[in-house]
Structure 1
Amino acid sequence: MDYQPVVVAKHPRPAATKHNSESRYWRQFKHPVFIKEYAPVTSVHFSPSKPHRYAVTAATRIQIYAPRTQKVTKSISRFKDIARSGCIRGDGKLVVAGDDTGLIQVFDINSRAILRTLDVHKQPVHVAKFSTLNNTQVLSCSDDTTVRLWDVPSQTCTQTFTDHTDYVRTGQVSTSNPHLVLTGSYDATVRLYDSRTGECEMLMGGPSGEGGGQNTAPVEQVLMFPSGTIALSTAGPILRVWDLVAGGRCTRALSNHQKTVTALAFDSTASRLLSGGLDQMVKVYDVSTYKVVHTMRYPAPILCLAVSTHIAAGMADGTLSIRRRQPKATESAAYEQSLAAARAGAYDSLLTGVLPNIGQGRVKQKTKSKPVGDMDEIKVESRRKKRLRQYDKFLKSFKYSAALDSVLKSQVPPTTAFSLIQELIHRDGLRTALAGRDDVLLEPVLRLLMKYVSDPRFGEMVCDVAGLVIDMYRPVLGQSPLIDTLFARLQKKVAAELRFQKELVKTKAALDMLLSSASLLAVA
């Protein structure tokens, strides 16, 4: 019969010390770069096209940053008042922005020249965005309670919506239908407009609870899924999910922030939702369950959020934070290929699920290995024997004392040391391993016992071994000052642990009394 190596016991670790696959993925966005602006950063927008430059709006200017160097490549400061909502068009050539005078301007991103000026709003314009599907269409939302669609070449307003009764601070054109516009207002309502009819097709929220979701707080942000079937809105610390297919019914209301949620953003696959708030926190949700899978903390209240291969957050104190994740070359190529297939309408790409799952890594497809050589050839499998560890070699040759000495070294984990001691107890060889030791060889044994006497994993075994050591070496106590000192320290540590255990028993008794009293009151 072959020798069976010592089985090292495994002790459970607290779950809080482990990071799941989601946390590991989001923690890859590291090495944050902090850029200080002169005023609160109110908007960050990534260009959809390469090289994915991003526009940062703060005070009376818009700055265009290069994503690789985090340096300013262009600065647009042709505003008479505070600029708002700098947005880069899908082709990366134009920038649109509003300001607090009500003016909307379209700039050439390279020359910074003003190409179009849209001057109808008479109050601040907090939203100015290009339509994703129509590059010549711009959406604007203003504090004058109106929402407008503009045709950039003709410089005319093609549609005006006037149903809101308070500031309109957020809005979006659907990415699946250029005629649908989702807006949120300080009148506590979310509305879905259709530019073909010019009417409000759906009303959600409001004090009376239209759409099944009562809301009295101003709506700060709205966001629509790429499919166009679900909308999200934030009012105060509450995030609400609206089912547009079911007539705007509120399906969920989530409260994971302590203060107002001011920013919403999807990741590149829209499988994760990020929300930022004035509580200086960014929460990451899994959109299949809407459970928080990761949390990031920032040094100041968050006003805006954008996600690409970077996570950009603008804060109220003028700080811009950029966290970068460097994707692997194979990962980027696979993702671009799958995304191109999905955009082309390839059903197989959805059927086989090749789109990446954030936080779960890439799953490699298993392929069967082809046989090498002749078909009649017989290959004998060779099995490598596991090499025994040093303490196993000593145990195999019944050198118990040497086996114990080999696990008393500082680099050996305590689980291994106590697993070997347990094996020696089973073999009835612990007394043999401890016998005949001088003060030099006895010192590491006592230090091990003293270090782990209060550890709940090994406390009982430490007491058994300490009792055996005291019984064996009692006649020689007083001959070595070092050993006497270690025994005295072990005694003090045991006494301190006993006092601690007595306090725990008293606390448990007090809690039992309180819980029993509470249960009696509940029954009465």
Structure 2
Amino acid sequence: MDSRFYALNTRRFQQRAQVETPDTIYWERLEKPEFMKECNTIDYLDFSPTEPDNFVVTCSVRVQIYNLVTKLVVKNLSRFQKTAYGATFRQDGRLLAAGDEEGHVKLFDTTSRNILRIFKGHKAPVHRTLFTNDKLQLTSFCDDKSVRLWDVSKEKVVQTYNDAHTDYIRAGAMNPVAGNMFVSGGYDGKINLFDTRAENAIQRTLDHGSPVESLLFMPNGSIFISAGGNQVRVWDLISGCRLLTMMAQHHKTVTCLRLGTDGRRLFSGGLDRHVKIYDTTTYKTVHTLTYPNAVVSLAVAGADQAVVAGMVDGLISIRRMIVENKPSNLNQIRVNHASKEKKKKLVKKLLKPNTSQVVDHTIKDRSKATKLQSFDVHLRKFNFKRALDAVLLPRQAEKHPENTVAVITELLQRRALDKALSERPEAFLIQFIDFLCTHLPEVRFMRPLLNAANTILNVFDASSTSYGAKVLEALQRLSDTVQAEIALTFEMLQLKGAMDTIIGVSLSDSDKPKARTVATKGARMQPSKRAEKYVIYVD
């Protein structure tokens, strides 16, 4: 059993600006989010590979292509009888495929908005459709537990893999290098690796441990990543699908994965309202983006120009990268940061006295333990009152309130805050209450300080002594502060509701711009007979 005493972790209460890394500098250049409102959950988002300012949004019975700059609909693909799913661009941006609740896969011309092909055969909703890297075939992943490979030009099924899973198939990914290989993920928690050349197409079956929500291949095709539950797992395809690492940075289900910074950064969005950004060399979290609601879909523009997130309530968040007058290149920021650190080390080395003399032997210095602050020393000796006194000194409480809150949190966890506050003079209690009133409105301190306010009220209730008018005035100030925070919360909720209504009305009534036509090379694909005869029946 480890008997060492560890100092309090006060960094968790520090403001984010106090910890600076090249990635925080880079990603904090994202502008404040701009919001758009749709009528239902945002199922899928995808950026056009040829027109980086356009991205497609799949929501309800509509597939809409938005412009990143104007935030307006460029093209509206509404040829769906029931809910549409997973609209994704082909690699050349000329075609777009989407599944639907009827079990159909529909292929659209992004220039003319015509429906070119309708692939029929599935018996349940198709949630994901992906093109192979040769652009000639299309893969569909369906809730009927099957995966189908389609020929785009002939509108026929090439191969059907029935009973690939024992539950719904909601995730898939195509190998960007080996066009004959792809992976599928199901709600049975399994991941299947397919090779279309082999007689037995399913080469490997892996266990993710939770329903698989998203899959993603790295650009080199040798590593793929799975997301499900609160975990993100990394698999090495070359070494027999060996598990390389596992990240569990989310508190709730991870719903989507994306790559950024030319494949050097991995994004994961989850129901905990966070998007985590990982370094793909170390798979450590380098930054976190926070959103107002659960994130269910994600898209990252080329060169990190924008990060678009779709939420469960139909809200779309667009955050564009600020590039004017500042270098936005992550490598340049990293080089600048490294040069600054190198200069600091050089200065320290020059200031250090030169003791490099020839000696027979060297006595190694005893490693010094981490120096404890005064409140840590008192906590180590269980002197709770002295620990609280040390952090409530006027200079300490004003300059480093995070230390005060850290000690209060530690005392709450040890159930010793009431002991530290009992049998105290009125001046100390007034000082403690004033600290609560000053820092309670800060979001980073709110939860522990509310618990501390409850504790001090319990101390007053349990005490048999009477208190003076000054203490009662301090309690009234605390009550007013709490009531003001409650009133502010209600006002913010009302404002949010009003803004949601205004945004919804403005988007529904906005004039849509004319679609911009793009000249394409080669013969344009013509609609098939089945696509020409397709009719949508409206109840």
| TM-score exceeds 0.5 | yes
Contact 1:85 1:98 in 2 (8 A): yes
Q: Establish whether residue 45 from structure 1 lines up as the match of residue 19 from structure 2.
A: no
1: CA distance between counterparts of 2:299 and 2:42? 12
Number of the residue aligned with 1:270: 263
* Percent of matched pairs sharing the same residue: 37
2: CA distance between counterparts of 1:458 and 1:96? 59
Q: Establish whether residue 89 from structure 1 lines up as the match of residue 82 from structure 2.
A: no
The AA in structure 2 aligned to 1:145 is K
Which of 274, 281, 290 is the matching residue for 2:274? 281
Give the superposition deviation at 1:41.
Answer: 0.4
Give the superposition deviation at 1:79.
Answer: 0.2
Contact 1:41 1:316 in 2 (8 A): yes
2: CA distance between counterparts of 1:201 and 1:453? 66
Number of the residue aligned with 1:360: 334
| Unpaired segments ≥5 residues, structure 1 | 1-11, 207-214, 336-355, 366-451, 460-494, 501-524
1: CA distance between counterparts of 2:27 and 2:282? 18
Give the superposition deviation at 1:147.
Answer: 1.1
| Gap change, CA 1:259 and 1:363, over 3 Å in 2 | closer
Number of the residue aligned with 2:249: 256
Q: Establish whether residue 201 from structure 1 lines up as the match of residue 194 from structure 2.
A: no
| Unpaired segments ≥5 residues, structure 2 | 1-10, 340-391, 400-426, 433-539
Contact 1:23 1:359 in 2 (8 A): no
Give the superposition deviation at 1:52.
Answer: 4.0
Partner of 2:35, secondary structure, is: strand
Contact 1:25 1:358 in 2 (8 A): no
| Gap change, CA 1:14 and 1:62, over 3 Å in 2 | closer
Number of the residue aligned with 2:113: 112
The AA in structure 2 aligned to 1:316 is V
Partner of 2:23, secondary structure, is: helix
1: CA distance between counterparts of 2:72 and 2:299? 17
| Gap change, CA 1:179 and 1:328, over 3 Å in 2 | farther
Number of the residue aligned with 1:372: none
* Deviates most, 12-21 or 298-307: 12-21
* Deviates most, 31-40 or 88-97: 88-97
Give the superposition deviation at 1:330.
Answer: 9.7
Number of the residue aligned with 2:169: 168
1:12-65 deviation per Cα after TM superposition (whole angstroms, max 9, x unaligned) = 996852332211211111131111001100000001113441100000000101
Q: Establish whether residue 325 from structure 1 lines up as the match of residue 326 from structure 2.
A: no
Give the superposition deviation at 1:120.
Answer: 1.0
Greater gyration radius: 1
Q: Establish whether residue 454 from structure 1 lines up as the match of residue 394 from structure 2.
A: yes
2: CA distance between counterparts of 1:260 and 1:364? 36
1: CA distance between counterparts of 2:398 and 2:338? 42
1:188-219 deviation per Cα after TM superposition (whole angstroms, max 9, x unaligned) = 1111111112511122116xxxxxxxx1x211
1:476-500 deviation per Cα after TM superposition (whole angstroms, max 9, x unaligned) = xxxxxxxxxxxxxxxxxxx869987
1:69-84 alignment, distance < 5 Å: 69-84=70-85
Contact 1:271 1:357 in 2 (8 A): no
- TM-score scaled by length of structure 2: 0.58
| Gap change, CA 1:144 and 1:457, over 3 Å in 2 | closer
| Gap change, CA 1:107 and 1:458, over 3 Å in 2 | closer
1:199-246 deviation per Cα after TM superposition (whole angstroms, max 9, x unaligned) = 11122116xxxxxxxx1x211111111111111111211111111112
Number of the residue aligned with 2:217: 224
1:288-329 deviation per Cα after TM superposition (whole angstroms, max 9, x unaligned) = 222111111111111111111111111110111111013359
Partner of 2:263, secondary structure, is: coil
| Gap change, CA 1:456 and 1:166, over 3 Å in 2 | closer
Partner of 1:306, secondary structure, is: strand
Which of 280, 297, 307 is the matching residue for 1:311? 307
Contact 2:327 2:333 in 1 (8 A): no
How many corresponding residue pairs? 339
- TM-score scaled by length of structure 1: 0.60
Q: Which has the higher contact order (CA 8 A, sep 6+)?
A: 2
